[in-house]
Each structure stands twice: as C-alpha cells, then as structure tokens.
Amino acid sequence: MTFAGYAVILSNLGSSSDRFVPTGYGDRYTIEQLFERAAQIPQVGAVELVGTWHVTEGNVRQLKDCLDRTGLKLASIIPDHFGQPKWKKGSFASKEASIRAEAISHTKEMADVAVELGCDLLSLWPGQDGYDYLFQSDYVQERQWFVEGIREASQHRSDVRYSLEYKIKEPRTHGLLSTAANALLIAQQAGGDNVGVTIDFGHSLNAYETPAEAAALLQQYGGKLFHVHMNDNYRHWDDDMIVGSVHTIETLEFFYWLRRLGYQGWLSIDQYPYREDGLAAVREGVLAMEAFNRLLDSIPSGELEGIIARGEATESTVYLRNLLLRPIT
Amino acid sequence: MTFAGYAVILSNLGSSSDRFVPTGYGDRYTIEQLFERAAQIPQVGAVELVGTWHVTEGNVRQLKDCLDRTGLKLASIIPDHFGQPKWKKGSFASKEASIRAEAISHTKEMADVAVELGCDLLSLWPGQDGYDYLFQSDYVQERQWFVEGIREASQHRSDVRYSLEYKIKEPRTHGLLSTAANALLIAQQAGGDNVGVTIDFGHSLNAYETPAEAAALLQQYGGKLFHVHMNDNYRHWDDDMIVGSVHTIETLEFFYWLRRLGYQGWLSIDQYPYREDGLAAVREGVLAMEAFNRLLDSIPSGELEGIIARGEATESTVYLRNLLLRPIT
Amino acid sequence: MTFAGYAVILSNLGSSSDRFVPTGYGDRYTIEQLFERAAQIPQVGAVELVGTWHVTEGNVRQLKDCLDRTGLKLASIIPDHFGQPKWKKGSFASKEASIRAEAISHTKEMADVAVELGCDLLSLWPGQDGYDYLFQSDYVQERQWFVEGIREASQHRSDVRYSLEYKIKEPRTHGLLSTAANALLIAQQAGGDNVGVTIDFGHSLNAYETPAEAAALLQQYGGKLFHVHMNDNYRHWDDDMIVGSVHTIETLEFFYWLRRLGYQGWLSIDQYPYREDGLAAVREGVLAMEAFNRLLDSIPSGELEGIIARGEATESTVYLRNLLLRPIT
Amino acid sequence: MTFAGYAVILSNLGSSSDRFVPTGYGDRYTIEQLFERAAQIPQVGAVELVGTWHVTEGNVRQLKDCLDRTGLKLASIIPDHFGQPKWKKGSFASKEASIRAEAISHTKEMADVAVELGCDLLSLWPGQDGYDYLFQSDYVQERQWFVEGIREASQHRSDVRYSLEYKIKEPRTHGLLSTAANALLIAQQAGGDNVGVTIDFGHSLNAYETPAEAAALLQQYGGKLFHVHMNDNYRHWDDDMIVGSVHTIETLEFFYWLRRLGYQGWLSIDQYPYREDGLAAVREGVLAMEAFNRLLDSIPSGELEGIIARGEATESTVYLRNLLLRPIT
C-alpha cells in the first residue's frame, strides 16, 4: 500500500449538530482536546482543519503546537466557503463581487497557513455555490465566475495543490460543483497541474456514481485525484456514517481501484457522528479502512484483475461470496 | 372552500440554520416579533407553536398575550420530541424507559397548554424515533413502545386531537413513522377517534407518495387526515421550499383532492427559508396556496371529475396545458 | 433454520427481455427445459409458476409431470395480472368492470390449479394497478375496487393463502400496492387469515424500506409475512440482480430477522439475468442465500441480540467488520 | 424562436413494450403507417429513425419515399447500439474487439444513409455501454475504447454531426455515458467540432441535473448542445411521459435557456406511450412544446433576465405564480 496514510477531519472527533439540534448532540471539545482525541488512534497520521472553525488569523501558533505535541501531520486545510452566513448565496460564484473576492482572498490566506504548517494541500468545498430554486441561477455567468475564482486562488501558490470536493446537493438543493466529471471539467479549465479533485465517498454515492469509477475517471485524465474523504450512507443523502457500515462491496472496490490507480494521498475520515461518540466513530472508521486494505492485501495477485477483465457477474458474485461470507470457525 | 384557513409554524418567519451554519443564516427574532411578522400577512389566521422552542412551562401567559394582541388563533402545538440532545436516540421508542416516559409527559403538558390557549390539536413529529444503522433497532419492540406511548399520551385528553406527522428520513436515516400507510396503522392501533395523521406535502414527496393519494388513503380509513403542512422540494430530500415552487401539478392535484375529500383543517406553512427573508417566503407560500385554491374555484364543476373518471393521460395533459400555460395577454 | 427451503420463479432460469430488446437477451427454453435447469441446483426444492407464461388452461397435466419428474415442489403460482395488454390499465382496480371480473376469475382458476398441483400459496403481484399520471386515478374508488377484488378472490378457497406482493413503481410509475404498510392495510381489509404479504427484497429497497423492518412489521401484525422473493439492486430501481451482489449487510440483517421472526415460508429467487446465463445466476443466488444462512448459523447465540438491544453503532460496526472483512488465511 | 422545429422519433407513434409485456401494449404499425401518423400532426417537421428498427441495408429507398410523400425531413438517425442481443455487454466499450468494430462500422453506415436521406445528424445512444455489477468493468480500459470508437466513427464523415445522448441508468444499472459533464468530456476527447451532446430532458432529470443548467454547460463549452429529446418523468426513472406532464417549471426554464443559449436544433419527442395511443401522445407532446414556447413569447423581454440576475426566490416564485396560476376567466 502506498497511501500517505489515514487522516481525519478534526471536527469529526467532537459534537455534530443538525438543523433540529443546532447546539449539537454531544459534548463540545476545544481544539486541543480534539487533537488529543485524534492522537489516541494510533493509525491516524494526520488531521484536516477547517477554516474559521479551526484556523483563524490568530491561532496558527496554537495549531503548530498541537501538531508538534501530538506528532500528527496536517493533511489539508479546508478553507471556509460554507460555514458563515456571508456565504449563504455562494462564495466563488456569488452574485456579489465582494463575496467572490473574499472567497479568493480567504483561500490564499489558508494556502499560506497550510504551508506554514507543513502542508501542501487545500481541499476546497464550495458547498454554498449552486442554487436552490429554478430561475435563480445564471448558469453561464456563475460558472464562469467560479472557474475564474478557482483559477486566481490556485495561482497564488504553485507549491500548494488545490483539490475541489464535489457534492451534488446540500446545503444548496443543487451544488454547482456537482459530480466527478463536472469537477474535472472545472479543474481542467481553472488550473494548471496544481488543481485536482477530492472524492468524498458518500458524495459520489449521492450522485449515483460508483466511487471506483469516479476515481478511475479522475486518474485517467492526468492524475487528478488529489484527496479522498471516507464515510458511508444510503445513497440518497450525505448521511456521513461510519466507513463500511452500509456499502461493503462498493468500499472494497473503491479501495481496490485506489491502489490499482496509484493513488498516493491520504484516506481521510469525514463522518458526522450525530449520536455516537466522535472518537469511537472515527476509530472504527479508521479500523474499517485498515480492514479493507488488509483484506485486499490477502487476495492473491491477479484474481480480481481476472474477474474484472472477464466481467462475468456470475463469476464475480461467487468470488465475493466466498470472500465476505465465510462462516466463523 | 371549507378549510379552517391558512396557518404557519411560527419559526418559519425567523432564521433557519443547518449543520454548516448552526447559528442560523438570517436575523433572529423574539417570539413577539415572530407573531408580529405572522400578523403582517392578512391571509394567515393561525400559528403553530413548537414545544421548547416557543412553548415553555413559564411562558403560556406571554403566548396568550401574543395571540390576543395579533388576533391569530393557535392551530396546533408541535411538542418537542426532536429538538434537544436528550431525544437523540428516540422519544416514544427510545431504548431508555425514562426517555419514553418524558416523551409522554411532555405531550400531556403540551395538550394542556394547547387547550389553555384555545386549541384542540397537537401535531406530533417524533422525528428522532427510528434508526440510522442496520442491526441497530429492535423493530418489534421499538414499534410496540411507540404505539403504547402514543396511546397513553393521546388518552390524556379526549378533547384534544393528536395528529402523527410522518417522515421517511431525517434526522434519522430511517424514521419509524415513515409513510402515510405506516402512520395510519399506528393511529389505528394507538388510539381512538382522536388520533390521526398530518401530511407534510414534502415528506410525502420524499416517500415517493403522491400527496393527493396519501390524503385519499387517510380520509378513506375513517377521516384520519387531521392536519396539513405545506412546502415543496425536489423529491429526494425535505428541502422545505416555498409552496408551489417546484411541483405545480402535484400541488394542484393535492388541493383538489383535499376539497373533494372534505378536509376541513388548516393549510399550514412549514418552510425553511435558509437564504430568504422568512416573512417574504411565508407570504409567498400563503399567496401560492390561495392561488391554487382560486384556480380550482375557477374550474367548472365536473371537469376534473370527468378527467379523473376517464383516466386518459392524453386528455388530462391537454386540460392541464390549457389551464397552466396560457400566454399572457 | 426452519424455512420451507429455497425456491425459484421458473422464468428466472431462461431469457430476460427489456423494452429495448423485447425478444430477449438470451436463449429461450421450453417449460420442460426450465424445470430441468431448476433441478440441476440441488438446493432448490421448489419452483414458482406464472399464470399465462407457464400455467394455462390446457397444461396442468404437463406441469404435474414436470414436478413429478424433477421432484420439485410447487412453491406458489403467481397469477397473471400484469403480462398481457388487457391488464394495461389495471386488474383488480381497473376502471372497467369486466377487467376487474377477469382479474378475480383468473385468480380463482389459479388457486384451483395450485391445489391440484399440491400447493397452497398464490403470490399476487397486481403490478398494473396504480397510475402513471397525475389526475389519472380516482384514488378512493380504485382502492376500494382493489380491496373488494382481493377479498372476493381470496374467499374462493380457504385452503389457499393469498400473498400480496407490493412494489412502489414499475410497470406503472406509481403502484397501488406500494409498500409493506400499505399492503398490510389492504390485507387486513380484504381478508381473513388467508391473506398476507410477499416481501420482494428489491421492491422493499426501492421503497426506502429496510427489508428486515418490513418483515418485522408484517409479522408483528399477526404473522402476515407469507412469502419472500430475493434479489438485489441499487435502491433506485428493481434491477433484479443476483442475491447479495450489492447489499451484504441488509441481506444479512434480513435473513437474521426472518429467523428471529419465525418465518417458515420459502426463500425464492426472483432475478432478471438479462446478460447472464439464467441457470448460473440462479445457482449463485441460491448459494448466496445458503451462505448468509450458514454465516448466521456460525454466530454464537445472543451476540446479535445484544448488539441490537444496545443499539450502539460503534459496537455493531466493529462486530460486522470482524465478521465480514476477515483476511483470507 | 430559432429552433429547427418540432420532430419525433418514429417509433413513438406506435406500440411500446416493457419487460412484462414484450409483445407490446398497443397496435403495431408498419413504417409507412408510422410516417403517416407523424404527418397528421401539422407542427411536426421531421422524424428521427432508429437503426435496425427502421433503417436497414435494404430499405433506404423506401424511407426516402416515406419522407418525400409526407414532406417530413429526417432530423437524425439513431444508430442501433442497444436493440439487439449482440450489444448486451456494450457496443463501443464492449470487452470484445469484434463487437467494438461492429459498433463503429454500423455508425459509419448510418452516417452514409443519413446523408443520402438529406440529414447531417446522428444521435448516438450507446445505452448498453456501462456495467451492472461491481467488479465488472475495467473503468479505465473501457472508457478508452469508448472514446476511441467515437473518435473513429465520427471521423468517417466531416459533413455529419455526431451527438452523444447520455443516460445515467437503464438498460445497464450504470451507463458509461452518464451525465452532461461526462458526455462533454468524451466529446472533447473524441472529436473535432462535429462531436457534441444530446440532452434527453428525462435523462437529465434522472441524473439530478437541472436540464437548463445542462444545456448551459454544453453551450458554454463551445456550442456542444447538438440535439434535444423531450419527455417527462418523476426524476427517479426514465418514465418517458408526455412533455410537461410533471415538471411545468423545469420545462419552462429549459425552453427559456435553450432560446437564450441560441440552440438552433430540433425539439424532438422521445416518449414511450405504453398505455396511450402513440399518435395522441405525440400530438400532445408537440402541443405542449408549442405552448411553452408561446408562453415564453408572451413574456416581456427582460423580465426573466432580471429575475435570474437578482436570484431572489421570493421574487421568482411570485412571478411564476402569477404566470402559471391565473384563474380561468
């Protein structure tokens, strides 16, 4: 396995809120405490931080201390293009020029902070770009603004990679950066070699993609898979459940293809443990990722390649049954 | 038209939050201000209040004043079975007996308050009952607890009607009270004549129901449609958009059947105007309801009845085209 | 395990067609050949036959010979309420009285044939009842006709059980008999003890049900789960894929609950192997069912019960990971 | 309006079959009769023909006569990459080289026929390319074959435009050519200026696209919207219903943007009137398209532009209510 290792978005270790319980379902933790919780999972090598939530103008020193103390690396910073009311009608594609400018300048700042903290990756999730209602978006103009914004932001530093995380819906009913193919088009237009795409496993399922196919698409067009977020759901919504809790075979296939495609980035947890202890949920998510990888390690070379090459469902289903449904001895 | 009139859930007039902006997208208003905003829409005759959010042990006097001052009626109270961390693993069907008892006692209190405020309807939305994960719910036991809880709560006052609002998902990935047919089964088991069902138009679409058919089902089994919440969405999620903004024909058909079925309750707004001014969104929701009703008023008696009786798609589509797509003159 | 055994719908062993290749993707087989193919799978103990497709007025003798020769039992007959143009606007709920009468009389005939062939189960799939367009169905009237038709048909023989197979869509955009809860309501209204419900695993997923919960619902209301059809899909459509090919955990949970709920009927394959050899696909479907059952047999008693009783996702996911993702040794 | 005019796929005027009634729900018509039926709708200016179903090696003369006699133009030929068992595991992306070669050679033949019949457009729908099962497709290799096949086929004639019709599912559970963005990527890779994309309105809804946004995307990347198929559905499946029967506002927005984007091709009916008379259903589909266009014609210039530019849902919903819900006077 050549992955960079396992990571986690820091907030996953704390309390989650939804629109009915906005103050959160669980206990709240300080940033220091969240770092300490991450450090309790030996397999976790890095964290991702979110702009505003975790990274502010004044706390870079504090974050550096947290990283040093725990020995964790910084896998990425996710700039805040979604977490404040000012972004409510978009960031890079907002109809207001001043908001678009803020989206760009905040991204630049986060890139500088990332480098300062030893990290070369921003994972951008412009979740507020898009629209809710019909006859609400100037699809042509807003897409153009979006591309221009990503272009300008990504040209700020050539030593940072900018990875676009797509999502078909939520918080807008229709996200601008909707699918892997759509994100790839934008990455191609916006940037040079330092613009790529983040696959969130659950977002991919929501778009009726097969995550393994999405990964193949991105890698095929010039190695554009920059980052991976892991979780699970029931296909219809971004439920952000524990890795492997629903889609055993899709997850297995995704990890298989990540290896075959030479993906070398992080496998990072992006769960929302509304009703679970965040630490326990992240630990299990990481152990699940490890288990999928170990299971793949134990499969003799060539077997899955042959099955895929022949493409007979009556062969692959036999194989997967024997792999997954062995009685306990 | 024999509806009780138009109503609105009070919180719809204020700020909405989601999991990314838990502090809310818009300005916050006091309860008094929310009442005043409701009163600015002449068509609105009543409000619905939510337990904990609007109704507490200590503020019944204040609520009475608000109702008196604005001349609004109380359409229903929605007890709080969803808005605090204590409900996170369910209310009536919680695995913890003490939580189940709280769900019942809170419902009884809200029934008493409702009567005190001149209202005979509770709309129960036990949105936290259900499950997220597989192998998490004892489907038999928890359903039984649920039925028993509803039964005990509803026997508290025979002068109050208890209306069960179903929803197939959110906040749990799977709601226990999922569909109109499921809610009807529970209403039958749990109660006497004072237990019925609330249709939320958007929840019905999410369950791949046709809302008009759901209304017919409930009325057919003994007049069990007690209450209606109106909004719209794109079928996949409870987007809680402005009435009529997506589903023109479904909404028209729903209102047609409400009239035909003799529904006499409120038509109440249940929108989440994340990015809109709450007052403007509610006003338009109400004006849309009025417009659907006026359009139906203008259709000569017997025309839609004939179309439905014959059931020819090539006739109904002609009719609807002529009805909805008339050029502006 | 107390199931009656494994079965298969006879046509699954042959060629499947869709609307683009109506003449079928594979080789065609005579009824005799289909029986012989079924008999090649030692675990298969019974077949289901479809009215018109397999059972006609004139071929009962031939069918009896086939059963005798192969030693297979008849698990059920599925009357033809869907496979001829005359049913195109419904069967039991058709707007035409003569069609409704035919639906009933054909059901009676099939019940007589079933008994003649040693079988006491009809699985009714009135897939053409429902509607495609809005303003097309008189929801009240048509539901009433439907209930009356099922009632009359099921009173024909008290020694036959009539099991209603629900499906939320296809071939109509909206099926009348849509969900488990809806089917249960109709079974309650229509019949005595000899009317129950068939769960098709894939239909249940299409309705955003959890199949295990649907089984629990039906059993809880008086042992109303009469029959089970097995297959798999991607939740959005009745893809009729090989058992276990997508939903490992849902299938495991379903089989677990079938046992816990004391289901004693058949586990019958209902796949559409468009591009696979029907025999190979059925064989693998049956072996998959056997593997799920064997895996459950190997789990120490009380373990899954405890997990469900506690309902902690961070416990169940650990357990399922250890169960399903063991490296090959 | 600058559209080429209204067209129809010839088979829409006849009988439709599905997997339950493979012989078809309605009366069958000869090709001549289908042409005559098309000619009965004055607004229809052209037909689309399907390879194998309508166009064979031997009947070009006959087709020319039909076109001449009726005065209809040929809008496009849709080569047969989906309608015979040989395509069951793909056409351009089949694992078998000989099948891939046949897909290409058939396309070339159809291009020659098209030109002979006075038409410069092929609408390719390689609906069998994709996969059903996980671990079945070599996503990288098969996509490459697909691109190469389209490239070779489209280089056959520079006087023909090749338009790729995408569809996310059916007949495969996952189509290779899945979304507008994905089709655009392939068009870019495969071809010169003569490769573009067909939007089928219903396919776009199935992919959770907003059709107007899909049109904008394609036009924005170099005028790549070559062709449009019209119908409607309930978002979850390609129900192929009559135009405008479900999505009033989406259809209005789509037509609005087609005009704004300068689309100059055909608006062609692609419905499957399983239970309706094909002629009546096509007529209504065409009249609906005409009605949407007339409604747009009647809106004063600048009004919708302003609404979109401001993007306020509380403004657009007011406008649409006043437009669509005017009482009959």
Which residues in chain A have Cβ-Cβ distances shorter than 8 Å to B237?
Answer: 169-170, 173, 236-237
Q: Which of C212, C304, C313 sits opposite B132 (nearest CB)?
A: C313
Which residues have CB under 8 Å from D1's CB, separation 6+?
Answer: D259, D293, D297
pLDDT in tens, C255-267: 999 999 999 999 9
Q: Which of A248, A295, A328 sits opposite C299 (nearest CB)?
A: A328
Relative to beta strand A130-131, strand A174-175 is antiparallel
Which residues in chain B have Cβ-Cβ distances shorter than 8 Å to D251?
Answer: none
HEC profile of B185-199 = HHHHHHCCCCEEEEE
In order, the DSSP letters of B169-189 are SSSSSEESS-SHHHHHHHHHH
pLDDT at B36: 98
CA distance B161 to A78: 49
Q: Using CA atoms of C106, C110, C113, C117 in order, give the dihedral in degrees to the nearest 10.
A: 170
CA C117 to chain CA centroid, nearest Å: 20
Which residues in chain D have Cβ-Cβ distances shorter than 8 Å to A168?
Answer: 208
Comparing alpha-carbon positions, the chain A residue that sits nearest to D303 is A135
Flag if D297 and B327 touch (Cβ within 8 Å): yes
Interface test with B, best of C135, C221, C318 (most B CBs within 10 A): C135
pLDDT tens digit at each of 329 positions of chain A: 579 999 999 999 999 999 999 999 999 999 999 999 999 999 999 999 999 999 998 999 999 999 999 999 999 999 999 999 999 999 999 999 999 999 999 999 999 999 999 999 999 999 999 999 999 999 999 999 999 999 999 999 999 999 999 999 999 999 999 999 999 999 999 988 999 999 999 999 999 999 999 999 999 999 999 999 999 999 999 999 999 999 999 999 999 999 999 999 999 999 999 999 999 999 999 999 999 999 999 999 999 999 999 999 999 999 999 999 999 98
pLDDT at A192: 85
Which residues in chain A have Cβ-Cβ distances shorter than 8 Å to D95?
Answer: 309-311
Which residues have CB under 8 Å from A282's CB, separation 6+?
Answer: A8, A12, A13, A37, A38, A41, A44, A269, A271, A273
Look up residue A99 and give its two tokens. Answer: 């908001």
Helix (H, G, I), strand (E, B) or coil at B12: helix
pLDDT at B1 over 80: no
CA distance A107 to A80: 8
pLDDT at B329: 83
Residue B5 Cα, gap to closest chain C Cα (Å): 25
What chain D holds in terms of domains, given with CATH numbers, is: 5-298 (3.20.20.150), 301-329 (no CATH)
Flag if C294 and A325 touch (Cβ within 8 Å): yes
Instruction: Give the DSSP letter of residue B326.
Output: P
CA distance B259 to B55: 32
* β-bridge mates for residue D151, sequence order: none
Flag if C280 and A248 touch (Cβ within 8 Å): no
CA distance A213 to A258: 10
pLDDT at C2: 77
pLDDT at D1: 54
Percent helix / strand / coil, chain B, rounded to 5: 45, 15, 40
CA D26 to chain CA centroid, nearest Å: 23
**Contacting partners of chain A (3+ CB pairs under 8 A):** B, C, D
Which residues in chain D have Cβ-Cβ distances shorter than 8 Å to A317?
Answer: 133
Interface test with A, best of B15, B16, B20, B136 (most A CBs within 10 A): B20
* Residue ranges in chain D modelled with pLDDT below 70: 1
pLDDT in tens, C148-165: 999 999 999 999 999 999
Which residues in chain A have Cβ-Cβ distances shorter than 8 Å to C206?
Answer: none
Across chain B, what does the average pLDDT equal?
97
How many of the other CB atoms lie within 10 Å of CB of A97?
9
Average pLDDT over residues C61-89: 98
Helix (H, G, I), strand (E, B) or coil at D113: helix
pLDDT in tens, B122-136: 999 999 999 999 999
